[in-house]
Structure 1
Amino acid sequence: MKSYILSIVTWLPTVGAIILLALFKKNQARAIKKFATAWFGLAFVASLLLLTYNRAVGGMQFLEDCQWIPVIGARYQMGVDGVTILLIVLTTLLGAIASLSSWNYIQKREKEYYALLLFLQTAVVGVFASMDLFLFYLFFEVSLVPMYFLIGIWGGENRL
């Protein structure tokens, strides 16, 4: 049986970011914060399904592999081992904590902040789960974009 749980855990935050950007207005700060925090919580709960990893078998599990860009040999190849599962669960937990802890701190452009935080979580989980070098590079580079804006707009006084 084919399991897509790893792709679900990876792309769920992006789906949340798209919904957030499409459905909420800028003046709905409280609703935006509630939705984003709930979505981060959903991603965390989904990542807990990865804890069904069979330690007796070991190795890479929850494998997903399909042809992506045949010209350069790039594949959408994802999987996790015992260590990366913990990193992914920790990432989704920290995403929920970051969302919850920024409720009182973020007072401007909440919609963009939470959308960027959701995009960042997708990229970081993708970095941990990717097994193809090109896919890893893509996720790693994509993670820099939301970090740049998060630090540049909402960072502290000495951010630059």
Structure 2
Amino acid sequence: MPKRQTLDSQQKSKRATNFFTFPDPVNEVAARSVALGVVIMVVLIITTHNRLLFIPLCYGFIARLAAGPKISILGQIATKLVAPNLPNHEKLVAGKPKRFAQGIGVVFSIAAAIAALATHSVLPSQIILALLGIAAALEAFFSYCLGCKAFALLFRFGIVTYNDCPSCVVQYAK
């Protein structure tokens, strides 16, 4: 009996570890759909000044960084509803740069939330949100991922290596 318990705990541990992974490759069409959702949230926050909207914005970035689209409402909508119903609904790209971009989104969204809560002016928060919104709009409308471009620079300078992202060699080793 102890052997079965060990196996069960190993399987549970493996499932938990697999849960907190980011997909590689990533469907860029779904990623662009997520970016459009971020643009919409940023515009809503800037225009309404509703600080409660920072909760889904920050949560979404943290969730996508931690587990890809699995626990992100916006990620689920993009991967299950929007992308599959678009023409040319799948274009696979390396996942690590997209995860890096989500990490940058975490930093910007939390910084904007802190600025909104810590200052009496909405301007600092709106500037940070505008930068986040511009980056998301570039991804959503032009398939230009600023986080991915920053990741590419890290790859070219040797900070990110082949071992960190084998699938990035095709994209970034130029």
Q: Same fold per TM (> 0.5)?
A: no
TM-score, with length taken from structure 1? 0.43
User: Which structure has more helix as a fraction of its residues?
Assistant: 2
- Where relative contact order (Cα < 8 A, 6+ residues apart) is larger, the structure is 1
Structure showing greater Rg: 2
TM-score, with length taken from structure 2? 0.41
